[in-house]
Each structure stands twice: as C-alpha cells, then as structure tokens.
Amino acid sequence: MTQASGCILFDLDGTLVDSAPDLAASANYMRGQFGLAPLPYPAMRESAGQGARGMLWASLRTGPACTRFESLKEQYLAHYEAHISERSAPFEGVLEMLGAIAAAGLSWGIVTNKAGHLARKLCASQSLLPESGCVVSGTDMGLLKPRPEPVLEGMRLMGADPANTIYVGDDARDAGAAAAAGVPFIAARWGYVAGGADISRWGAALIAHRPSEIVPAALEILKSRRG
C-alpha cells in the first residue's frame, strides 16, 4: 500500500466493539453444561478483553493447567462463534469516529489478539471491516500483544511507520505492544479496563473517555511527531 499520511490502529474487543454480552452469554452457556446457574453480566464484563481464557476463568474458574481446558475452550469458542453478533455492537460513537477518520484523510486498521476468523466475522457482522485497512490477529501469528509484532505487521500492511501511526486500546497489553513497536498509545477508557487497573501507568499519550476524542488527539500527536 502507499504510505498513509496517518494511520490509527485499533484493538477490537473493548475498543471498537462491545462484544462482552456475547462472550458472557457463551460463558454462561458453559456453566449451564455443568448445571450451574448463570452469573450476572457485570461479574464477567471486565474479563471480556482476555478472550476465551478469561471468560472460562470468570465462569468456571478453569485455567490452562486443567486437563480439560483445551476441550472446554473449543466448546466455548464453538458456541461463541455461532452467536458472535447477537448482542454485540460498536460502542456509542465508534461509527462516527471512523467517519471522522476518513474525513481527516487518515487510514485505520485493526490489531487484535482475537482469532482471525472470529475477528473478521465479528467485524463483518458490525460493518467494521476497513475498506483499505487490515485485520491483524496476534493469535494467528502466534505472537500476542504485548509483543510488538502484531502492531508492526499492521503498520507493514498499512504502509505506515512509527512516525505516522497511533495505536488505540483498552488494555495494558495494548499499551505494551504500542510502546514496544515505538508508536504512541491512546487508552480507550470506555472499554474493558479492569476495575483495579492503574491506567495512568500505561504511558498513554491520552486517556480518552469517548471515541469522539480520538481523531482530534491523533491529529495533534501526528503533527507533533512530524516536527
């Protein structure tokens, strides 16, 4: 691709899409398989950014050390894929933000730890597949955030570099990946930020409380980096 004048890369779950309702519903489905009552949604929401591992721990207190973990994970993901967009939706203001990105002459893409086929299915169901962007899955790469490789791959696909790229996410792993890739980070405070997380320690250029703050901040950050 031709090098963009400016590029914003986004995390997916908890940043662009509120996918927690469907992730939690699948977690409660798993509880039902063991005759357990469903947990209230607020008890599981903050674990949504941690994928299947986080949701299985939140719902069943089951982790990778359990001998049945992989089979439970497969069962969970199969149910989730079948119901991936029943309750999920872009966060309020996200679609308007993406329109503002295009109006400002910027490009955008997605860098997520979600499995690629699930990420693309979720994006397609929400009309969020970037027309000229990318959907990079760290899971598919075998190199998860906070490793920098997924962000670096997103920049490569976008024809961008650290001087004209910003990464936006709602997790400390997102901040770590951005720092390791040498790009500024904007923290999405509206996402699945754990209650005990000290977001001020993430080294963010901005802690954004709503999507409408992203484009003006990105333009200022990119301007300052160009000197």
CA torsion through residues 69, 71, 72, 74, sign: positive
Hey, how many other C-beta atoms are within 10 angstroms of the C-beta on 13?
26
Q: Which two tokens stand for residue 222?
A: 């990119």
Give the ranges where 34-66 is alpha helix by DSSP (H): 42-45, 51-60
Angle at 184 between CA 163 and CA 210, to 5 degrees: 125
Residues designated catalytic: 11, 13
| End-to-end Cα, the chain, rounded Å | 24
Q: Which residues contact 127 (CB under 8 A, 6 or more apart)?
A: none
